[in-house]
Structure formats: C-alpha cells, structure tokens
Amino acid sequence: MTLATSSDYPDLDDDELGLPDALRERGIEPRIAVWNDPTVDWDTAGTVVLRSVRDYALERNYTSFLSWTRSLPRVANPAEVVAWNADKHYLTRLAELGVPMIPTTWIEPADGLSKHQVHTRFPAHGDFVVKPAISSGGRGTGRYTATDARSRSDAINDTMHHLRRSRSVMVQRYLEEVDRKGEVSLVYFNGVLSHAVEKAPMLHPSFRSTDEVHEEIVTAREPSEQEWLWGEKVRKAIHRVIKERSGRDSQLLFNRVDVVEDGQGGFYLMEVSLIDAGLYLGSTPEALESFADAIEQRVFW
C-alpha cells in the first residue's frame, strides 16, 4: 500500500511520522510517494491512502489532482468523494439535507461583479470571513471588520483576487463562539468515532488572507453527547450524498467533521474534510493505533 503525500511533506506531516512503523507492526510495508511525482508507478501502488496532499487545491494542481485520483485502481477515500469534497459548495447540499451551516453569501466569478458590488455583499457590521471555495489548510482565508474602512478595502481586494482567478468566494459572518470556545473536530475511522479535539481560534482580529497553510493548536477532549449526536447527523448526510452521486454507499477510511456552537444550543457545520484532513494522531495515545487498524482493514479486505 502507498501513503500519498505532497512535495511539501515528502516524509508525511509531523503528526503522522509514526504511521509507517505502526503499519509495519501490522504486517504492512507502506510506501510513501508524492502524488504528482512522474517517476511513481501508481498502477503498482496497491491501496492508496491520501494523507498530506495539501497542495491539491492550488490552481496549478487542482484539475490534475482530481484526474490522478480517478486513475487510481484503489484509493481511500474514493475519487468521487474527493471530487465532491474538494469544492466547498458541498456545504449547500448538506444544508439542504438539514445540516445547519453558517449563513453564507456565495460570490461567483461568472457574476462579473465590480468592486462596489462586492462591497455590497459584505455585512454592514461585525467581523466577517472571506474564503475561496476551493482551498486547503486555510489558504486564502481572511478575517475582516465591516466598519473599518481599511479592513473592508482589504476584503474587497482579496475577494477580487480570488474572482480574477476563477475562484468562487464564500462570505460568512465571523462567529464570536469561535473566539469563546473554539471549534470541535470529530475524527472518524471506517465510520466509527475515534477521537475529538478542540481547536483554538486561528483567525484573530488582525488576521489577513495568506497563501500559506495555517498552523492549528488543538487539545484532545471527550466529545459531549450533543456533539456526538451532531456528528452522527452530519455523517449520515454525507453518506446520503455519496449514494446519490455514485448509486452506492462507500465506507470512508477517514472523515473529519468540524463544528462550532451556534450560540443557541446547537451547532453549525464548519467543514467536512475527506481529502487531506489533519487527523490529530498525536492528540491522544490511541489515535495513531486506531488509524493504523483502520488502514489494515482496508488493505486486507
């Protein structure tokens, strides 16, 4: 089997450096390969597990990455799932299935909006977030203040930057609950909840858009019953979409669901990560072993 990574992480992300040894303990000799390395023979790669492929969303890579996943004989997660999850418009379908998401204004390149028209799409007060619909690791995401002229101007310029590159843009009000309590990530392996972490806020008030991958600060903790139930609701909606798109359901090797409290006793879905998800394997003693077990099941099925 092969662990697919990117040239930025040729030996995997630091969080996953122990994964190859854990697989060897289970009788699996993994190969680590960069997904777009032309010297790799992917026909002989066996089961391919997507890991640190965090450059997939870059403009120069996006189309070729999706084509590459479709060319693989056996990949986890499945190529059709990857294609769906690669563009954050997937959130609209989950919302239609009853999964609450943060109210979002979508700005499309085809709309041909002027700077003034973009300006009118922003909130009139409070902080808000601008992010491209196709991105990985928080690249291109910025936090802005609606009533600060310079900040609003930065938001306009960043939005126009994405639109000129044919990137759809999401505009969302920044939730104060993120600052107060952070996000919660629920991590599943082969459909079973493995562990959960609480993520510290990344978008501080002076945060601006950047093309760099954003570092996360996480703390492991047990999910509440309400968080667990919410995660199950999201997971069931995801599997309904998979069946709609492919005509059959597919078990996901890994699935990370990010939620944040909505301030009214419920949650908003922030993101579902099925491609290059950080799985926080170092957050709890059992996480790495659980992921290795999940891969073992796939390799020997």
Q: Which helix (H) or strand (E) holds 4?
A: strand 2-5
Q: Are 259 and 268 in contact (CB under 8 A)?
A: yes
* 168 and 109 in a common domain: yes
**The residue to which tokens 């939620």 are assigned:** 259
CA atoms within 13 A on the CB side of 52: 20
Q: Look at residues 173, 190, 212 and tell me which one is the last residue of a structural domain.
A: 173
What's the domain count of the chain?
Answer: 3
**The residue to which tokens 């993520």 are assigned:** 199
What pLDDT shows up at residue 202?
57
CATH of the domain at 264: 3.30.470.20
List of E strands, 111-217: 127-132, 142-145, 169-173, 183-189, 192-199
What pLDDT shows up at residue 207?
47
* 221 and 195 in a common domain: yes
Q: What share of the chain is helix, strand, coil (3-state, %, to 5)?
A: 35, 20, 45
The DSSP call for residue 213 is: P
124-136 as b/e, with b when 16 or more CB fall inside 10 Å? eeebbbbbbbbbb
Distance CA 117, CA 119 (A): 5
**The residue to which tokens 């992921």 are assigned:** 291
* 265 and 201 in a common domain: yes
* 279 and 252 in a common domain: yes
Phi, psi of 6 (to 5 degrees): -120, 170
Q: Are 153 and 104 in contact (CB under 8 A)?
A: no
Q: What is the pLDDT of residues 146-180, one digit of tens each?
A: 999 999 999 999 999 999 999 999 999 998 877 77
* 97 and 230 in a common domain: yes
* 189 and 91 in a common domain: yes
Q: How many residues does the chain have?
A: 301
What pLDDT shows up at residue 213?
55
Percent of the chain whose pLDDT exceeds 90: 80
Low-confidence ranges of the chain (pLDDT < 50): 206-207
List of E strands, 108-181: 127-132, 142-145, 169-173
**Closest by alpha carbon to 282, among 54, 53, 19?**
19
Distance CA 72, CA 79 (A): 8
* 281 and 237 in a common domain: yes
pTM, rounded to two decimals: 0.91
Amino acid identity, position 13: D
- Domain containing 208 equals 85-101+176-286+293-299
